[in-house]
């Protein structure tokens, strides 16, 4: 069976990280499973971790009074979920609900933050990777906002 | 009336601008604003996937509508259209037995001949699935000639999805990957939420050996093209179907120009490198 | 090619010969103080002694020139386009019957054939360009094709240029060498005539004209050469296509867009502009409907309408569409410039925009940018 560090090395998010960094990150992670309907994160609660989704689909939701939960985006196999652990005040900005059975790796944020503070090189590498995820998610959100399939009249 | 006599009044001068007549066989509501018309043109209607017809309602007007039936078994003519203006509303409110004017088929087809030996990635946005459906029919009919076939389909919301039952059938096939995403979900939706471009990095295909067919709103096609190029799909294997103001369908009225092209006769399907210099430019 | 001599007093015989062959003869006559293309009955209706002067945004007529010359007006305000390609026409009529819809289409073969008398060389080239656009593609405009095939064209070579003419620089004039049935050159006392088709040769034979003398032919050649030399405006076709495609996002478009009022006059007077739109109508009972085709202009906002709105909302983008289509896109689409150098768009522009000047500015700007890029 492959070690956790090897598994991580194959994931696009961690590609190119030094082996010692991968070893260390692996020690901060645990395998987790969520049943459909269970929450990986709740809005406002302490964001002490992030996830690498290995199987299944997770809905990012905001609960809107009178309208119920509104799904903003879904993330799935291969995606990274959660960056609130990186920044003060470390609180989740949305709910993350397992739509299907979800298997994921959960990374301990406090553990990683400590390590990043000690080892700025690892900190920078991780920050670059998260910045990229955030930028991509933002770009997708912008397109979504344009409502491109909308209907503005025609012939 | 016998199908053979349907167009017996149509011979004579002025063929370029004059429609032939087709009789409405079925009208099927696809979504809250989209209908599929099945038309009898008096015989099998031969066309290539990606081509369009001009549909005419006397006194109301004429609009270009892509053909969405099965090109491999020519039968009645099938069009899926959204009721967004006077002409399309008139077309969508036709009843079985009514007559509709047809000129066509016009335009360049999807290059399905080039797909042999390749993976095929089809990316559709909104009503853009309608002109791509004939390509998918064609590919599925000759399934063994191709590698992976992937259909990525994005729509505004679950209630805007076209061909839902067919999508479910396609999803059930082992030789076809179908991913559907919506921009705005409702509580009943259990699929993906997010723009269709986000599906591209995640789905498995061999970019170097992939033919990509894309149709949707122009802005969606721009981002989709970028996402496919980012995955190293060769630009010359990337095809887009463009929309412009096509009034005559035959390159005579001038309205549908994009740079040196008449979209109606040089397109609507273009290889990406031909139109790329004009796509990013504003108001071209 | 044999040149013949048509003295002024035999012009009527030429018109008669055309009419005998069944042609409806159209030519320049004076209407409301302007040389205008209309049915031409007699040679004396031609604009004898009329000279036109043109400048950006200006067209003036003087009627006090020597009465011996009929074609010194050079260009009528409106060209021949409307005769072969009318500004408005019925495409078809639909009548609901018990069997379905019955469609009737006007038959252009039923119209009398036209003889176009006094077509200038640049205008002939414009007609030849229309042939490519409307008759020689995968789909043809049958009405235009029928009308054009039946027409008889009498060119009058230019022995005078307007200030706005630049045909010499784009190679369309002041002399036409092919594509006409007859070509006349106006000299002292009459016209040197050559035929350019069997139809034309046949008609000349019937008229039994004397051959033109060497002196008459020389005078004709020199007059045409003088007209060419007198042109000051130029449009250099060299590299024009790449110049315009390469500058789609130049700030110059914006600058032109601030002067252009988007009126579309240039497209209406342009002899090659061919864009059309359609209008649908029906009677109140709904039993009868029709489609009418009308000239359209890329300067109208609805021109580039797709669902959601117009693609070209700014005037600058519409001017860019017009000019790049005319000078660049046309070359890709039809293998020729869409401009014949008649200068009508300059004359009839209310704000005097001159495409030859605008193109020159693009060249200058391009050269300046290129020079800058070469510096280390």
Hey, where are the domains in chain A?
Answer: 4-146
CB B258 within 8 A of CB B269: no
Which one of A69, A76, A155 has the shortest CB-CB distance to B87?
A155
pLDDT for A2: 61
Contacts C268 to B, Cβ<8 Å: none
Residue in A71, A38, A136 with CA at minimum distance from that of residue B192: A71
Least trusted range by pLDDT, from C103-107, C265-269, C361-365: C103-107
- A99 shares contact with chain B (CB less than 8 Å): yes
Q: How far apart are CA B260 and CA B274, in angstroms?
A: 10
SS3 A122: helix
Q: Does residue B75 carry a pLDDT above 50?
A: yes
Q: Read off the pLDDT of residues B161-170 as tens digits, 9 standing for 90 and up.
A: 999 999 999 9
Spell out the long-range contacts of A23-29 with Cβ–Cβ below 8 A and sequence spacing 24 or more: A24/A115, A24/A122, A25/A107, A25/A112, A25/A115, A27/A111, A28/A107, A28/A108, A28/A111, A28/A112, A28/A115, A29/A4, A29/A105, A29/A106, A29/A107, A29/A108
Same domain, B132 and B177: yes
Measured torsion, CA atoms of residues B35, B36, B42, B45, in degrees rounded to the nearest 10: 130
B205-251 residue pLDDT tens: 999 999 999 999 998 999 999 999 999 999 999 999 998 889 999 99
**10 Å Cβ neighbour count for C302?**
11
- pLDDT confidence of residue B5: 38
| Domain encompassing residue B53 | 3-106
B164 inside domain: yes
Query: Would the pLDDT of A152 be above 60?
Result: no
- All residues of chain A having their beta carbon less than 8 Å from the beta carbon of residue B187 are 68-69
Say yes or no: B72 and B177 in one domain. no
- What share of chain C has pLDDT > 90, as a percent? 84
Of B158, B204, B153, which Cα lies nearest the Cα of B180? B153
In angstroms, rounded to a whole number, what is the distance separating the alpha carbons of residues B212 and B234?
Answer: 9
CB contact, 8 Å: B276 with chain A? no
Q: Is B191 on the interface with A (CB under 8 A)?
A: yes
pLDDT band at residue C80 under the 50/70/90 scheme: very high
pLDDT value for A15: 86
> What pLDDT, on a 0 to 100 scale, did the predictor assign at position B9?
37
Are C30 and C322 in contact by the 8 Å Cβ rule? The answer is no
Q: Is there a cis peptide before residue C44, judged by omega within 30 degrees of 0?
A: no
Residue keyed to tokens 């509501």: B29
**pLDDT at position C283 over 70:** yes
- CATH at residue B126: 3.40.50.80
Give yes or no: residues B218 and B236 share one domain. Answer: yes
- Residue-averaged pLDDT of chain A: 88
Select the more confidently predicted residue: A66 or B160: B160
The tokens for A147 are 């409502």
For B75, C190, C202, C263, the CA distances from C197, given in Å and listed in that order, are 50, 22, 8, 40
**pLDDT in the model for residue C373:** 82
Q: What pLDDT is stored for residue B14 in this prediction?
A: 60
The whole-chain average pLDDT of chain C stands at 94
Write down the pLDDT at residue B8: 38
Residue B248 lies in a domain: no
The pLDDT of residue B3: 35
Chain A CB contacts of B155 under 8 Å are 149
CATH H-level superfamily of A4-146: Jelly Rolls (2.60.120.10)
Q: Are residues B57 and B41 in the same domain?
A: yes
Q: Does residue B252 lie in a domain region?
A: no
Termini Cα distance of chain C: 59
Give the pLDDT of residue B12. 45
In chain C, residues with a C-beta closer than 8 Å to the C-beta of B52 are none
**Confidence label for C376 from pLDDT (cuts 50, 70 and 90):** low
Whether the predicted pLDDT of C151 surpasses 60 = yes
Residue C341 DSSP code: S
Checking if the pLDDT of C20 tops 60, the result is yes
Kindly state whether residues B79 and B26 are assigned to the same domain: yes
- Which of B72, B106, B140 terminates a domain? The answer is B106
Residues B95 and B116 in one domain: no
pLDDT at A1: 45
Among B20, B34, B59, B156, most C C-beta atoms within 10 A, so best to mutate, is B59
- Percent of chain B topping pLDDT 70: 95
Q: Quick check: C281 pLDDT over 50? A: yes
Closest listed residue to residue B83, CA positions, set B96, B71, B94, B92: B92
Question: Is residue B11 one of the residues assigned to a domain?
Answer: yes
Examine residue B211 and state whether it is found in any structural domain, yes or no.
Answer: yes
Put simply, the answer to whether B250 touches C138 (Cβ < 8 Å) is: yes
From chain A, the residues in CB contact with C305 under 8 A are 155
User: What's the CA gap between C192 and C203, in Å, rounded?
Assistant: 15
What is the DSSP-derived secondary structure letter of residue C272?
S
Radius of gyration of chain A (CA): 17
**C-alpha distances in angstroms, C242 versus C192, C324, C334, C361, C366?**
41, 10, 16, 15, 11
Residue at B279 is within a domain: no
- Tell whether B79 and B125 lie within a shared domain: no
In this predicted structure, what is the pLDDT of residue A155?
A: 55
Per-residue pLDDT, averaged over B15-28, amounts to 92
- Better pLDDT: C38 or A27: C38
B128 and B97 share a domain? Answer: no
Among residues B83, B106, B129, the one where a domain terminates is: B106
User: Does C218 score more than 60 pLDDT?
Assistant: yes
Helix (H), strand (E) counts: chain C: 14, 15
Q: Tokens 């390159």 — which residue?
A: B251
User: What number is the average pLDDT over the span A100-127?
Assistant: 92
Of the candidates A85, A93, A90, A92, which has an alpha carbon nearest to the alpha carbon of residue A116?
Answer: A85
C313 preceded by cis ω (within 30°)? no
The β-bridge partners of B22 are B100
How far A96 CA lies from chain B's nearest CA (Å)? 13
Residue B192 has pLDDT above 80, yes or no: yes
d(CA C20, CA C12): 12
Residue A75: enclosing H or E segment and its boundaries?
A: strand A68-76
- For position A151, what pLDDT does the model report? 55
φ, ψ for residue C241, nearest 5 deg: -60, -50
Are B9 and C317 inside 8 Å of each other by CB?
no
Q: Which chain A residue's Cα is nearest to B86?
A: A155
pLDDT band at residue B2, thresholds of 50, 70 and 90?
A: very low
For residue A23, report the phi and psi dihedrals to the nearest 5 degrees. -55, -45
Please identify which residue in the block is written with the tokens 């609960």: A63
| B27 and B57 inside one domain | yes
Q: Is residue B118 domain-shared with residue B235, that is, in the same domain? A: yes
Confidence of residue C302 (pLDDT cuts 50, 70, 90): confident
Residue C229: exposure state from Cβ atoms within 10 A (0-12, 13-18, ≥19): exposed
Confidence of residue A63 (pLDDT cuts 50, 70, 90): confident
- Residues of chain A found within 8 Å of residue B154, distances taken between Cβ atoms: 149
The answer on B136 and B87 residing in a single domain is no
Mean pLDDT within B74-97: 94
| Alpha-carbon torsion (B256, C141, C338, C29), positive or negative | negative
**Domain boundary residue among B226, B241, B256?**
B241
Higher per-residue confidence, B184 vs A154: B184
Q: What sections of C93-248 are H helices per DSSP?
A: 121-130, 142-150, 167-170, 198-207, 214-229, 240-245
**B253 assigned to some structural domain:** no
Q: Stretch C194-208: mean pLDDT, rounded?
A: 96
> Which range is least confidently modeled, C36-40, C95-99, C125-129, C200-204?
C95-99
8 Å CB contact of B193 and A73 = yes
Residue C370, CA distances (Å) to B198, C216, C235, C357, C365 in order? 40, 51, 21, 20, 9
Q: How far is CA C112 from CA B15, B109, C17, C155, in A?
A: 21, 42, 15, 20
pLDDT at C274 > cutoff 70: yes
Best of C139, C289, C302 to disrupt the B interface (most B CBs within 10 Å) is: C139
Q: For residue B176, which phi and psi values (nearest 5 degrees)?
A: -150, 130
CA dihedral B125, B131, B134, B135 (to 10 degrees): -60
At C275, the pLDDT band (50, 70, 90 cuts) reads very high
- Domain count for chain B, please give it: 2
Under DSSP, the state recorded for B268 is: B
């Amino acid at each position: 069976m492959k070690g956790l560090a090897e598994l991580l090395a194959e994931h696009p998010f961690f590609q190119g990280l030094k082996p010692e960094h991968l070893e260390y990150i692996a020690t901060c992670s645990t395998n987790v499973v969520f049943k459909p309907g269970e929450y990986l994160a709740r809005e406002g609660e302490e964001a002490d971790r992030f996830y690498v989704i290995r199987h299944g689909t997770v809905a990012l939701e905001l609960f809107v009074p009178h309208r119920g939960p509104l799904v903003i985006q879904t993330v799935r196999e291969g995606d990274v979920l959660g960056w609130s652990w990186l920044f003060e005040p470390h609180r989740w900005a949305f709910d993350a609900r397992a739509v299907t059975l979800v298997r994921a790796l959960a990374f301990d944020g406090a553990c990683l933050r400590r390590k990043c503070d000690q080892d700025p090189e690892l900190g920078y590498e991780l920050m670059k990777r998260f910045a990229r995820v955030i930028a991509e998610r933002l770009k997708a959100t912008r397109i979504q906002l344009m409502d491109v399939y909308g209907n503005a009249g025609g012939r | 009336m016998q199908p053979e006599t349907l167009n017996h009044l149509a011979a004579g001068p002025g063929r370029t601008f004059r429609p032939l007549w087709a009789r409405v066989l079925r009208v099927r509501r696809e979504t809250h604003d989209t209908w599929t018309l099945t038309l009898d043109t008096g015989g099998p209607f031969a066309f290539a996937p990606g081509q369009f017809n001009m549909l005419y309602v006397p006194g109301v007007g004429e609009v270009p509508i892509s053909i969405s039936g099965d090109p491999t078994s020519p039968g009645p003519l099938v069009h899926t259209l959204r009721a967004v203006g006077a002409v399309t509303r008139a077309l969508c409110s036709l009843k079985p037995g009514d007559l509709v004017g047809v000129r066509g088929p016009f335009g360049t087809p999807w290059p399905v001949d080039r797909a042999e030996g390749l993976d095929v990635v089809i990316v559709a946005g909104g009503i853009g699935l309608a002109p791509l459906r004939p390509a998918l029919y064609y590919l599925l009919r000759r399934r063994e000639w191709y590698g992976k076939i992937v259909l990525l389909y994005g729509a505004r919301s679950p209630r805007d999805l076209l061909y839902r039952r067919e999508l479910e059938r396609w999803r059930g096939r082992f030789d076809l990957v179908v991913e559907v995403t919506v921009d705005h979900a409702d509580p009943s939706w259990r699929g993906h939420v997010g723009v269709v471009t986000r599906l591209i990095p995640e789905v498995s295909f061999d970019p170097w050996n992939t033919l990509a067919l894309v149709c949707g709103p122009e802005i969606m096609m721009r981002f989709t093209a970028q996402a496919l190029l980012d995955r190293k799909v060769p630009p010359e294997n990337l095809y887009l179907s463009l929309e412009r103001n096509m009034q005559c369908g035959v390159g005579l009225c001038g309205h549908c120009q994009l740079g040196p092209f008449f979209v109606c006769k040089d397109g609507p399907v273009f290889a990406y490198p031909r139109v790329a210099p004009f796509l990013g430019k504003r108001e071209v | 090619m044999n040149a013949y001599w048509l003295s002024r007093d035999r012009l009527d015989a030429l018109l008669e010969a055309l009419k005998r062959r069944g042609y409806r003869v159209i030519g320049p006559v004076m209407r409301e103080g302007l040389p205008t293309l209309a049915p031409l009955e007699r040679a004396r209706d031609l604009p004898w002694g009329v000279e036109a002067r043109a400048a950006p945004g200006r067209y003036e007529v003087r009627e006090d020139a020597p009465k011996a010359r009929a074609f010194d007006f050079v260009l009528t305000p409106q060209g021949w386009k409307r005769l072969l390609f009318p500004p408005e026409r019925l495409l078809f009529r639909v009548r609901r019957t018990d069997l379905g819809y019955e469609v009737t289409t006007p038959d252009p073969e039923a119209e009398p054939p036209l003889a176009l008398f006094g077509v200038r060389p640049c205008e002939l080239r414009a007609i030849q360009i229309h042939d490519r656009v409307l008759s020689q593609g995968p789909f043809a405009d049958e009405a235009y094709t029928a009308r054009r095939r039946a027409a008889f064209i009498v060119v009058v070579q230019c022995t005078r240029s307007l200030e706005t003419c630049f045909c010499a620089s784009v190679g369309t004039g002041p002399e036409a060498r092919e594509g006409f049935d007859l070509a006349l050159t106006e000299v002292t006392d009459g016209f040197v005539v050559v035929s350019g088709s069997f139809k034309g040769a046949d008609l000349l034979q019937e008229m039994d004209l004397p051959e033109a003398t060497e002196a008459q032919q020389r005078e004709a050649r020199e007059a045409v050469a003088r007209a060419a030399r007198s042109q000051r405006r130029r449009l250099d076709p060299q590299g024009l296509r790449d110049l315009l495609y390469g500058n789609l996002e130049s700030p110059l478009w914006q600058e032109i867009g601030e002067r252009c009022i988007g009126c579309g006059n240039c497209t209406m007077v342009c002899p090659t502009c061919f864009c059309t739109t359609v209008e649908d109508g029906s009677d109140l009972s709904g039993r009868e409907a029709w489609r009418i085709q009308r000239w359209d202009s890329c300067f109208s906002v609805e021109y580039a309408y797709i669902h959601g709105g117009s693609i070209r909302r700014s005037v600058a983008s519409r001017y860019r569409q017009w000019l790049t289509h005319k000078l660049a896109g046309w070359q890709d689409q039809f293998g020729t410039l869409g401009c014949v150098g008649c200068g009508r768009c300059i004359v009839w522009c209310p704000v005097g925009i001159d495409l030859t000047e605008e193109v020159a500015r693009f060249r200058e700007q391009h050269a300046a940018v290129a020079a800058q890029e070469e510096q280390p």
